[in-house]
Amino acid sequence: MVYEENTTDAVEMRHIISIILENEAGALSRVAGLFSARAYNIESLTVAPTDDPSLSRMTLVTSGTDEVVEQVCKQLNKLIDVVKLVNLTDDVHVERELILIKVQAENEQRDEVKRIVDIFHGQVIDMTDTTYIIEVTGDSEKIDAVLKALEHMTMLEVERSGQLGMCRGDKGMV
């Protein structure tokens, strides 16, 4: 049987994938190149060395039908630099993203921004006479909500870190 497109089992879902890979020159471009070469979606990607400096951890958010995401995972696993891969979506997990926003804040806006920041348990981490830089962490829904709350104000810069994710429970990834 072939894959049926446009049916209900072919819905595109968001997946968050955690990857441990060799911390080597070129490893990142192998992953990124795979996504462009095979026309897979990539929504966000973060990468940095782990406590073991020879390894990096990458968190990748992609979307696609189950079949496509299964292929994505298989192709990623095939990369020689990939040590371990877990599709966090299959498990109970936590997700965090950090956002920095430089927002115009003058006169009464200054209090309003402060109030919004408090509601989202964020912080003001820098200020000038006319602006604040605020920092908020949370899952992507919360980050989206912050942006929505500030929509009517003038945001001079917005920077999101991309998702980090980790499975709940007592097991480590490697």
C-alpha separations of 40 from 33, 37, 45, 79, 86 in Å: 10, 8, 13, 15, 18
- Interface residues for other proteins in 53-72 (CB under 8 A)? 67, 70-71
Rank residues 83 and 166 by Cβ distance to other proteins and give the closer one. Answer: 83
Q: Using CB under 8 A as the criterion, what x/- string covers residues 81-120 for binding other proteins?
A: xxx-------------------------------------
CB 79 within 8 A of CB 2: no
Q: Cα–Cα distance between 69 and 124 in angstroms, integer?
A: 38
- Interface residues for other proteins in 31-50 (CB under 8 A)? 33, 37
- The interface region with other proteins, picked from 76-84, 105-113, 123-131, 153-161 by CB under 8 A, is 76-84
Rank residues 37 and 92 by Cβ distance to other proteins and give the closer one. Answer: 37
| Strands of the 82-87 sheet, one edge to the other | 44-49, 55-64, 13-22, 82-87
**CA 95 from centroid of its chain's CA atoms:** 8
Q: Binding of other proteins at residue 1 (CB under 8 A)?
A: yes
Amino acid type, 157: E
List interacting residues with other proteins (CB under 8 A): 1-3, 21-22, 25-26, 29-30, 33, 37, 67, 70-71, 74-75, 77-78, 80-83
